[in-house]
Amino acid sequence: MRMEASGHNSPHPNPLPRAGEEANESLTRGPNRIDEEEDILSLRHHLVNWLFTPLYLLLLFSTVTGYIAALKLSNQPYDLVLTERARLIASRFDLIPEDITPGHTDLLPDAVGHLTFTLFDANATPLLGNATLPRPRPLDLAAEGPRLRSTSVGGEKVRLLTLRFHTTRRTPGSAYVLVMAEPVKDRLFLGRSILGNIVIPQFIFILIAGFAVWIGLKRGFEPLEKLRRAVSQRRGDDLSPLDEAMAPGEVRPLIHEVNALIERLKAMMEQQKRFVANAAHQLRTPFAGLRAQAELARREEVPPAVRTALEGICEGAGRCSRLVTQLLTLARNEPEARHEEAMIDLDLNRIAQETAMDWAPEAVRKDIDLGFEGAGMELPLHGYEGALRDLIGNLLDNAIRYTPRGGRVTLRTGPGPWLRVEDDGPGILPEEREKVFDRFYRVAGSGQPGSGLGLAIVHEVAQRHRARIVVESGEGGRGTAFLVNFGR
């Protein structure tokens, strides 16, 4: 076994992780980007839809009623003027000579412009006028006072007025009917401009309301968004309750229930872990007994077939023993375990060196060059000695196990303190580097026996010491390096 007292000539003068490396190599699980954002958005869209559909319907309704009201309003002044003009013409009728001829226009007040009229006698016979307008209807002939209606004359939309009046000078008492028409173009123009004055402010009002609602919703959803971030940034094994105070009132009952669920889940998981630990504890003695008995039997003279079977039993019992030991070690280092071991001030350099010595025989058996490059000084650490030996032991076990014969494994320590186990074996693919710490997870195709619990133990022990683990490639991109940084 290679031994070096100082780490100065180490090929990695500073194996501590640089800030940028952490992202995919650190054990710390990154935020779990499920598209919760989309769900929140859809809820938001839901609300917006429910608010704005009625609002737009209201706008449509008020536009239609506004249009009708605007037309009505714009008719009133025009009708008034039209009636006044008709009365004026009627009043002038007495002034014109008896021998009137059709087409006589003296009746027209100045600037009557676009107005057309026809004068009828009581029998609806046209007497004079500047256009031929429809004869008055019997109803118009009978009515006292002016009558107004909208119709079209010669293809043009007009407002038609009929006014029955009596003369005093000519045949006293006889009635005449004046029919006047005015194109509705001007009225429509006024109506539309009134409508514009109603609709445009309403539209602006809805735009502002929409903007206000959108901002309000965004602000309203902020606490939920914060909660989502808090959940997504959690570590996979963090089962602490969610902060109810962070949630808006409506969501608080839900968070409360989720917390209750987490609590039940935690209890269940603890129960399960306790069960596994108890089972492992119960299995330890029988497996040890089985192994001892099989070893004894193997020493006896037995037929070859029985020997092969005995060897199988020995091997199987050995594996079972190891598995049970690993299970117990894992249970011992879980946060829920009642820790029997006390935290003490210790020297990480010494523990690392001693553990490396323990593994030297195994390295020799596999023809592996196991080296220890210590810091050359005491590395004080407040921690659990047994657990740290388990951590280093499992890293060395893996390095020796997975590195082919003739390979190189090096354990280094440094101030901080940190320790690093590096080999030039097959390496671990970047996408597997996080998963290998899961319980019972094994990379397929290594061809080596194992339980998949070694790195889970390493993880738990590191957690207990608040240490951070970084998995990277070894020297020159070959092999694997596990860096455990106790200084964080």
Ligand X SMILES: Nc1ncnc2c1ncn2[C@@H]1O[C@H](COP(=O)(O)OP(=O)(O)O)[C@@H](O)[C@H]1O
Give the binding site for ligand X (CB under 6 A): 394, 398-399, 402, 423, 425-426, 428, 436, 441-443, 446, 450-456, 480
Q: Specify the 3-state DSSP secondary structure of 128.
A: strand
For Mg ion, which is the closer residue by CB, 294 or 331? 331
Q: Which is nearer to Mg ion, 115 or 455 (CB)?
A: 455
What distances in angstroms separate CA 396 from CA 414, 419, 425, one per listed residue? 17, 12, 12
Please tell me the count of residues contacting Mg ion according to CB under 5 A.
Answer: 3
Residue 423 interface partner, choices Mg ion, ligand X, none, CB cut-off 5-8 Å depending on type: ligand X
Q: Please, what is the minimum distance in Å from the beta carbon of residue 448 to Mg ion?
A: 8
Of the pair 28, 446, the CB lying nearest ligand X is at 446
* DSSP 8-class letter at 99: S
Element (H, E) at 48: helix 36-92
Binding span for Mg ion by CB under 5 A among 71-79, 181-189, 251-259, 452-460: 452-460
Query: According to the binding rule CB under 5 A, does residue 398 interact with Mg ion?
Result: yes
Residues 211-250 that bind Mg ion (CB under 5 A): none
Nearest Cα residue to 352 out of 392, 386, 390? 392
Question: Least distance in Å: CB of 396 to ligand X?
Answer: 9
Residues 484, 486: Cα–Cα separation, whole Å: 6
Pick the closer one to Mg ion by CB: 383 or 454.
454
Stretch that binds Mg ion, among 157-165, 247-255, 273-281, 443-451 (CB under 5 A): 443-451
Q: Taking the complex as a whole, how short is the minimal distance between the CB of residue 459 and ligand X, in angstroms? A: 9
Residue 298: name its binding partner from ligand X, Mg ion, none (Cβ under 5 to 8 Å by kind). none
Rounded Cα distance between 410 and 421, Å, is 6
Query: How far is Cα 131 from Cα 118, in angstroms, rounded to an integer?
Result: 6
Closer of 39 and 237 to ligand X (Cβ)? 237
x/- track of binding to Mg ion for residues 344-383 (CB under 5 A): ----------------------------------------
Q: Which does 442 bind (CB under 5 to 8 A by kind): ligand X, Mg ion, none?
A: ligand X
Q: Which does 425 bind (CB under 5 to 8 A by kind): Mg ion, ligand X, none?
A: ligand X
> CB within 8 A of 86, min separation 6: which ones?
117, 146, 161, 163, 178, 180
- Among residues 129, 414, 454, 474, which is the contact residue for Mg ion, using CB under 5 A? 454
Q: Give the total residue count for the chain.
A: 488
Please tell me whether the peptide bond between 417 and the residue prior to it is cis, using omega within 30 degrees of 0.
yes
Q: Which is nearer to ligand X, 373 or 423 (CB)?
A: 423
Residues contacting residue 324 through CB under 8 Å, at least 6 positions apart: 280, 283, 284, 287
295 vs 397 by CB, closer to ligand X: 397
Residue among 146 and 454 whose Cβ is closer to Mg ion:
454
CB 452, min distance to Mg ion, A: 8
Residue 484: which H helix or E strand, with range?
strand 480-485
Report, in Å, the least distance between residue 409 CB and ligand X.
Answer: 8
End-to-end CA distance of the chain: give it in Å, rounded: 30
Name the CA radius of gyration of the chain, rounded: 50
Helix axes 304-333, 252-298, angle to 10 degrees: 150
Region of 200-208, 362-370, 398-406, 471-479 interacting with Mg ion (CB under 5 A): 398-406
Neighbours of 390 (CB within 10 A): 23
Q: Smallest gap, in angstroms, from Cβ of residue 307 to ligand X?
A: 28
| 254 torsion bin: left (phi>0), alpha (psi -120 to 50), beta (else) | alpha
Q: Minimal distance in Å, beta carbon 397 to ligand X?
A: 7
Interacting residues with Mg ion (CB under 5 A): 398, 450, 454
